[in-house]
Amino acid sequence: MKMMTCRQLGGPCDETFKAETFEEMGELSRKHVMEMMEKSDAPHLEAVAAMKSLMEKPGAMEEWFAERRKEFDALPVG
């Protein structure tokens, strides 16, 4: 298992997620963000807006995901 925080994945908080794969980590993060959006959590809403802005730039989202995957891959298994 590897561990990352919401902040490491582009979010605003230190909620931690544990997963075997980067895809699982992404899914845990997505669920967390959705829950926080349902609660109208302002910092998470701002993070989502920033991600949407990033998606408007060609290649930016792919680069962002590649960087997060690289960070995930470098984490120790624990």
In angstroms, the CA 36 to CA 25 distance is 17
pLDDT at 71: 95
Q: Enter the pTM of the model.
A: 0.86
pLDDT at 55: 87
Q: Two tokens at 46?
A: 């701002």
pLDDT in tens, the chain (78 residues): 999 999 999 999 999 999 999 999 999 999 999 999 999 999 999 999 998 998 899 999 899 999 999 999 999 987
